[in-house]
Amino acid sequence: MEDKEDVVMVTKKRNSLFLFPEDFQFKDLAPAYPELYDYFMRICDQYPEDAGEEYMVMLIRQNLKDLTNNRKPMGHNREARYRMIFPYKRERVQFFVYPRIAEEESEIEEVTKKISDFFKKKKIEQEILWDQMEFLKEEEEKK
């Protein structure tokens, strides 16, 4: 008979939330954003092959314009395997990373770690929370 201490519950993480310090603003993310977005697309193996470099430059430029004006960026990787979503009306700068389909959930921890390591190299402080998207949905539904 197994001891209760020997039983370990393993739960899959479904999404990650990168939460930045309270005094961090969108414009503070701007210097690292072009490299971050490019890196995100590459580590998720979703760099667009057909549109290529021009498409990526356009997406980065659009999002960078918002960030430098201290606004939430729009993103535009909706058809990708993984998404980077900046939620609306948040008190702090934050973004979610989540897989589009369930089979890829097992990679979310690896993708999140790589992004976190990127921020550490850039000396950008961040906190990672797991599986917060359900709470976000519930908050929005209450409004």
Q: What is the pLDDT of residue 104?
A: 55
pLDDT band at 49 (very low <50, low <70, confident <90, very high): low
* Residue 42 structure tokens: 């590459």
Q: Is the Cβ–Cβ distance between 12 and 105 less than 8 Å?
A: yes
* Residue 91 structure tokens: 């008190």
**Is residue 139's pLDDT more than 60?**
no
pTM: 0.82
Q: What is the mean pLDDT of the chain?
A: 83
Alpha carbons 29 and 141: distance in angstroms, whole number: 29
Alpha carbons 127 and 16: distance in angstroms, whole number: 10
Q: What is the pLDDT of residue 135?
A: 60
Give the closest residue to 80 by CA, choosing from 102, 103, 61, 98.
98
- Could you tell me what percent of the chain has a pLDDT over 90? 45
Q: What is the pLDDT of residue 55?
A: 78
Q: Is the Cβ–Cβ distance between 19 and 127 less than 8 Å?
A: yes
- The tens digit of pLDDT for each residue in 6-46 reads 666 657 788 999 999 999 999 999 999 999 998 998 888 77
Q: What is the pLDDT of residue 77?
A: 65
Alpha carbons 108 and 112: distance in angstroms, whole number: 6
Q: Is the Cβ–Cβ distance between 18 and 94 less than 8 Å?
A: yes
Question: Per DSSP, what are the bridge partners of residue 129?
Answer: 17
**Is residue 73's pLDDT more than 80?**
yes
Question: Per DSSP, what are the bridge partners of residue 127?
Answer: 19
Q: Is the dihedral of CA 27, 29, 32, 34 positive or negative?
A: negative
User: Once rounded to an integer, what is the mean pLDDT over residues 74-101?
Assistant: 82
Give the closest residue to 43 by CA, choosing from 92, 138, 142, 113.
113
